[in-house]
Amino acid sequence: MYRFTTLFCLIALTTLASCQSEEQKREAALAELPTPLAHDPTDEFELSRWWTNGTHLLRLDANAYYTLYRGTNRYAIPLERGRWGQTSYAVLMLEPYDTLNAERIRVAISRIDGELALTIPKLEPMKAIDRPPTVIEDRLLGAWEGDIGVLRLNSDGTYSLTPNASAADQLVIIAGHDGTWSVIGSDVTLTPRTPGMKVIHMPFTINGDAASITSPEGPLVRRTTS
């Protein structure tokens, strides 16, 4: 009887030690997992306007509108537009305009390597950047002048063309117009708002710090002041 009791106690102690060991292992494993929110909720922070993960670009405007781009070119056609709002220190919500996908999207706010990060479902985490990456369109912004008149390419994707009425040899005065512009291949493409007007393609070249545009009426020179 004594031997049986002693054996039972040894088995019980061994089992208890094993259970404690497994519990300790589980707790240690949990401790190594990253916490879902790595920043202190009492920390004061302000969300940047621009965010990227290298494959997507997100713009959060102060007026509660957002734009999501595939790639890092802010002049490209947006992947998604909508409204955004921060609901807590850990979450902001995106509400796309797309009526076919009207569900709000929960975006986690966390810290990665000490930096604020936004994680949109199905996308890699995004970190804040001071300004969007420089692209070709940035090199073409501003006012350009030539025989055709003055062409202004604006950062919001719009343009205006004011004809040069002072040209003495201009037999037909081209009416001024405005619309949207984009870079397609090696052309600056103007899409007029005026119904019936054809799309205008203007070849451009960029060589180092110099850029040039050629209109149907000849070359355009960048104005030093607009």
Domains of the chain: which residue ranges?
A: 50-129, 136-222
Q: Is 160 exposed, middle or buried (0-12, 13-18, 19+ CB in 10 A)?
A: middle
Residue 50 · residue 128 · CB < 8 Å? yes
Q: Please tell me the distance from the alpha carbon of residue 20 to that of residue 12, in angstroms, as a whole number.
A: 12
pLDDT digits (tens, 9 = 90+) for 181-223: 999 999 999 999 999 899 999 999 998 888 999 999 899 999 8
Residue 142: beta bridge partners?
153
Give the CATH class of 136-222. mainly beta
Closest listed residue to residue 152, CA positions, set 127, 119, 134, 178: 178
d(CA 169, CA 225): 26
Query: pTM for the whole thing?
Result: 0.71
Give the confidence band of 176 by pLDDT, cuts at 50, 70, 90.
confident
Residues 95-121 have pLDDT tens digits of: 999 766 568 999 999 999 889 999 999
Q: Enumerate long-range contacts of 151-156, CB under 8 Å, 24 or more apart.
A: 151/213, 151/215, 151/220, 152/226, 153/181, 153/188
